[in-house]
Amino acid sequence: LIGKQVLLPLANRYIPIIADELVEMDFGTGAVKVTAAHDPNDFEMAMRHNVPFVVIMNEHGVMDGSGTRFDGMDRFEARKAVVEALRAEGRIVDEKRPYIHAVGHCSRCEITIEPRLSKQWFVKVGPLAKAAGDAVRDGRVKIEPDELAPRYFDWIDNMHDWCISRQLWWGHRIPVWYGPNNEVVVVGPGEVAPAGYTQDPDVLDTWFSSALWPFSTLGWPTQSDDLKKFYPTSVLVTGYDILFFWVARMMMFGLFAMDGVQPFHTIALHGLVRDQFGKKMSKSKGNTVDPIEFMDKYGADALRFTLARGANPGKDQALAEDWIGGSRNFATKLWNATRFAMMNGATVEGALPDLSSLNAIDRWILNRLSETISEVDSLLEQYEFARACELMYHFAWDDLCDWYLELSKESFSSGDCADTKRVLGFVLDQLFRLMHPIMPFITETMWTALTGGESLVIAQWPVAHPDHIDKKAEKLIVELQEIITDVRRFRNDQGIKTSQKIPARFIAPANINEYASAMAFVLRLELGEITPSAHCQIGAVKVEFDLTGSIDVAAERTRLEKDLATAQKDKQTAEVKLNNQGFMAKAPDSVVIEIRERLEKTTVDIQRITAQLSQLPSS
């Protein structure tokens, strides 16, 4: 049959039978009608087999040029009319309903799109695309993160010639003029078309115009001072979703227009901001957010920090209002910490005290600050904004606010705190500089209030100090943290209010005992000689307590014994079921998992309650 011709129904003209690899023989009948002027795949087949291109529809979706009685009909009306005409001629032998296949629709009005052959302007991209690919392959341009480079090559190495003309109202007009006798003239800058010529009504594809940005905004084609200074630029930061549409086109045009010089050295790609459920934001879905509303409610810094904290290279991030509220709480924590510091005399005046004169608490926070600055610097260089923010957050909230300030309160209370005031001022000064790019407004306000400086914008970037690294101090503070954490747990287990002071004493090595008063201030303990009625052991450290009058020992013992009996009964029930082969054979996996988890929990509860009972006073 290949090479023969068949009569096309209704049109009454002959069309050739061809064979092509695009046709799927196991789909349907294995035979398809080729509409060369109205389908991209059919167009490719027609080019390979010299099939005529017959345009049967105009740009308004009205049948035109088919040479049939359907000309002048709307495309949707024509569909029904064609089916009825074929049925009337007995040419429809079978129907499949429903029939589902992929059909393009307009993203705005959702109307079915009809491919249609028309005269357009194209860019021959072969040489341009090769140059853009080579620039990344030979290292002149670096794509961050590395795992997105294959996506760039997949596009740039397989580009088709680019259709750059658009039939839109707005855009750069295509600089082509037509004469009265079909002459074609390209009119450049400063040139004027001959009299009687008309300009092509089409405009350039928006990505064509955008591709000119790196050099056209700097005075090109004139070798201006701006062009010499700012081309190529250092880093392009953009979303991975326009890596092909914009970045690849800028690469092609920049290399072409600027004699092989790439438009930037690094392409840093971030992900998309999605809603809290990970869905892409869309006006039609109603899940978009208004950043202005969030800024009005939580502050610009909170929104900025939330976005930066979720900005992993090339990865999408979800955005929920609760997370922005959490960042606002973080800003409030910083504000209150700074207020406390300034009320207690924190200062940036004078040089830092000699490290040998500082206590371990002050040396530890300087050690953590230097480590944080060094790690944040490294992460920012790698465009790891999320991890950098996480480090700054935990340093500020955990190390500075929750530990250093708490451990230093005893010094402030006693008045022996000159060194601590200077260290605290230095730490806040450096922290605000480090956080300024992410949270510029609150850090600017706090920094200028603390230092009296003009502006953080012109302040020096913080520098890590290798001489501040002190692993001995770090080891000691970790031990203090473990002691404080265990004592807090003991107080909670005994039902002692956090505000209630209780008599206690530390039995510990000298290096730890040196900071007994600092720990006691944090833990609300009254140090002195006592008759201990309870204790807790943390490694080599023993903390003894006099709980007389602090708790009702008899009532607490009764409560704990009741809890212990309940836990033991639950454990026994779980063990009986798990040891019953008949039950295990019939029980669903989810039930077995639940019982095993219950056994594990009750075992832990029994150990905890037994320990609490052993720590209770005897009477």
Q: Domain containing 571 — which CATH number?
A: 1.10.287.380
User: For residue 242, with 0-12 CB atoms within 10 Å meaning exposed, 13-18 middle and 19 or more buried, which class applies?
Assistant: middle
**Residues forming beta bridges with residue 535, ordered by sequence position:** 544
* Shared-domain flag, residues 408 and 336: yes
Same structural domain for residues 419 and 401? yes
Encoding tokens for residue 323?
């997370």
Task: Output 405-411 pairs: Cβ under 8 A, ≥24 positions apart.
Answer: 405/337, 405/340, 405/341, 406/522, 407/361, 407/477, 407/480, 407/515, 407/518, 407/519, 407/522, 408/361, 408/362, 408/518, 409/521, 409/522, 410/517, 410/518, 410/520, 410/521, 410/522, 411/518
Establish if 117 belongs to a structural domain.
no
* Token output for 348: 């940036």
d(CA 197, CA 178): 5
Q: Which two tokens stand for residue 425?
A: 């001022």
What would the pLDDT profile of 54-80 be if each residue is shown by its tens digit? Answer: 999 998 999 999 999 999 999 999 999
Please answer whether residues 265 and 235 qualify as being in contact, where contact means their C-beta atoms are separated by less than 8 angstroms. yes
Q: Are 304 and 201 in a shared domain? A: no
127 lies in the same domain as 57: no
Q: How many CB atoms lie within 10 A of CB 314?
A: 20
pLDDT at 619 (0 to 100): 59
The residue ranges of the chain whose pLDDT is under 70 are 552, 618-619
Query: Structure pTM?
Result: 0.78
Asked if residue 149 belongs to a domain, the reply is: yes
**Residues 343 and 423 occupy one common structural domain:** yes
Compute the CA torsion angle 303, 309, 312, 317 (nearest 10 deg). Answer: -50
Question: Looking at residue 154, which CATH number applies to its domain?
Answer: 3.40.50.620
For residues 586 and 573, state if they share a domain.
Answer: yes
End-of-domain residue from the set 437, 469, 501: 469
Question: Looking at 227, 242, 274, which one is the last position of a domain?
Answer: 274
The verdict on residue 33 lying in a domain is yes
> What is the domain-level CATH number for residue 71?
3.90.740.10
SS3 199: strand
Q: Give the single-character DSSP code of 467.
A: G
Q: Is residue 141 part of a domain?
A: yes
Location of structure tokens 């109202």: 169
CATH number (domain holding residue 441): 1.10.730.10
Structural domain harbouring 10? 5-88
Measured between its terminal Cα atoms, the distance across the chain in Å is: 106
What's the structural domain count of the chain?
5
Give SS3 for 305: helix
The answer to the question of residue 283 being in a domain is: no
Indicate whether 285 belongs to any domain: no
469 strand-pairing partners: none
Based on the domain organization, do 380 and 347 belong to the same domain?
A: yes
* Domain shared by 514 and 573, yes or no: no
Helix (H, G, I), strand (E, B) or coil at 128: helix
pLDDT of residue 515: 95
CA distances from 97 to 31, 86, 92, 100, 101 (A): 19, 17, 14, 9, 12
The whole-angstrom separation of Cα 460 and Cα 253 is 37
Q: How many CB atoms lie within 10 A of CB 411?
A: 22
Same domain, 357 and 433: yes
Collapsing DSSP to helix, strand or coil, 446 comes out as helix
Shared domain for 259 and 310, answered yes or no, is no
In a domain, 226, yes or no: yes
The CATH number of the domain where 485 resides is what?
A: 3.30.1170.10
Same domain, 299 and 442: yes
Tell me, yes or no, whether 111 lies in a domain.
Answer: no
Residue 493 sits in the same domain as residue 526: yes
90: left (phi over 0), alpha (psi -120 to 50) or beta: left
Q: Of 88, 106, 133, at which residue does a domain stop?
A: 88
